Structure 1
Amino acid sequence: MSAIRIERTHNRGLDAAKQEAESLAEDLTEKFGLKYGWQGETLAFKGSGAKGEIHCASDS
């Protein structure tokens, strides 16, 4: 399986980063039927043919 890594810095803080990740996961769930859940500061998602993680931090 191919791996794609994207890193983005920000100055919005941890709560805002987690809200953005949650919003993205909700969109992916609606569009592609993915399942997701939080494990600490990491949002993990999985579906048919795709899986990944979004690591949230106060600055990235």
Structure 2
Amino acid sequence: MFWKIVGGLLLAWVAFMVIGSIVGFLVKAVFWIAVIGGAVFLGTAAYGAIKGGNKTKQIRP
């Protein structure tokens, strides 16, 4: 009975370690994807602001 409890605890510990490493990797990956996406967005906005010049757009009826 003792070895079943120890084996169950060991199995639960290994499962938590594997799940924790996968979740940690996914959090890091999503963070870097967000950083790259933000940099691309800011670059595109800056390019549009510089390239756009003084053109005023007006809606005509």
Q: TM-score, with normalisation over the residues of structure 2?
A: 0.33
Q: TM-score, with normalisation over the residues of structure 1?
A: 0.34
Q: Which of these two proteins has the greater Rg computed from alpha carbons?
A: 2
Between Structure 1 and Structure 2, the one with more strand by share is 1
